[in-house]
Amino acid sequence: MPPLSVFLQWIYFVSFFILPRMSYLALAFYEFVSIENPHLEVKKHKKFFKNREITCRIYLSEEGVNGQLSGSAEDVDAYIEWIKADPRFESTHFKLGTVSENIFPRVSVKYRKELVALSCEIEASEGGEHVDPKRWKEMLESGDYLVLDVRNEYESEIGHFEGAVRPSLKTFREFPKFAEKLAAEKSPKETPVMMYCTGGIRCEVYSKVLKDKGFNQVYQLNGGVINYGHEVGKDHWRGKLFVFDDRLAIEIDGDPSEPIAQCHHCGCSSDTQYNCANMDCNHLFVSCSVCTEKELGCCSTKCMRAPRRRPYQRENGNKPFRKKHLLASTEPDRAPASLS
Identify the pLDDT of residue 337: 42
For residues 196-207, average pLDDT: 96
In the CATH scheme, what architecture does the domain 124-239 have?
3-Layer(aba) Sandwich (3.40)
Active-site residue, from 56, 197, 298, 303: 197
Instruction: Strands of the chain (E only): list them.
Output: 24-32, 54-61, 64-72, 95-99, 107-111, 129-131, 146-149, 159-161, 193-196, 218-221, 237-239, 241-242, 249-250, 273-275, 284-286
- In this structure, which amino acid lies at residue 208? K
Which of helix, strand or coil describes residue 160? Answer: strand
Identify the pLDDT of residue 12: 52
What is the phi-psi region of residue 32: left when phi exceeds 0, alpha when psi lies from -120 to 50, beta otherwise? beta
Identify the pLDDT of residue 13: 54
Which of helix, strand or coil describes residue 148? Answer: strand
282 has pLDDT over 70: yes
| Phi, then psi, of 339 in degrees rounded to 5 | -100, -10
39 has pLDDT over 70: yes
Which ranges constitute the DSSP H helices of the chain? 4-13, 38-49, 73-84, 133-142, 153-156, 175-185, 201-212, 224-231, 289-294, 301-304
Asked whether 222 and 201 are in contact (CB, 8 A), the reply is: no
Instruction: Answer whether 4-111 and 124-239 agree in fold.
Output: no
Domain spans of the chain? 4-111, 124-239, 273-339
Identify the pLDDT of residue 325: 41
Find, among 69, 55, 97, the residue nearest to 227 by Cα.
97
Q: What is 4-111's CATH number, 3.30.70.100, 2.30.110.10, 1.10.3720.10, 3.30.470.20?
A: 3.30.70.100
Could you tell me which residue, 155 or 325, shows the higher pLDDT? 155
Rounded distance between C-alpha atoms, residue 250 and residue 200, angstroms:
17
Q: What average pLDDT does the structure give for the chain?
A: 89
Distance linking the first and last C-alpha atoms of the chain: 60
Rounded distance between C-alpha atoms, residue 114 and residue 94, angstroms:
21
Asked whether 66 and 59 are in contact (CB, 8 A), the reply is: yes
pLDDT tens figures, 99-130:
999 999 999 999 999 999 876 666 777 899 99
For residues 147-151, average pLDDT: 97
pLDDT tens figures, 7-32:
555 555 555 444 445 579 999 999 99
| Phi, then psi, of 32 in degrees rounded to 5 | -90, 110
Asked whether 131 and 262 are in contact (CB, 8 A), the reply is: no
310 has pLDDT over 50: yes
CA distances from 216 to 138, 143, 182, 183 (A): 20, 18, 14, 12
Could you tell me which residue, 277 or 120, shows the higher pLDDT? 277
Q: Give the neighbor-by-neighbor strand order of the sheet with 218-221.
A: 129-131, 218-221, 193-196, 146-149
Rounded distance between C-alpha atoms, residue 96 and residue 109, angstroms:
19
2-11, 111-120, 198-207: least confidently modelled range: 2-11
Rounded distance between C-alpha atoms, residue 46 and residue 55, angstroms:
11
Is 288 labeled as catalytic in the residue annotation?
A: no
Asked whether 306 and 176 are in contact (CB, 8 A), the reply is: no
What percentage of the chain's residues is helix, strand, coil (to nearest 5)? 35, 20, 45
**What's the predicted TM-score (pTM) here?**
0.86
Identify the pLDDT of residue 19: 46
Identify the pLDDT of residue 134: 98
Rounded distance between C-alpha atoms, residue 266 and residue 263, angstroms:
6
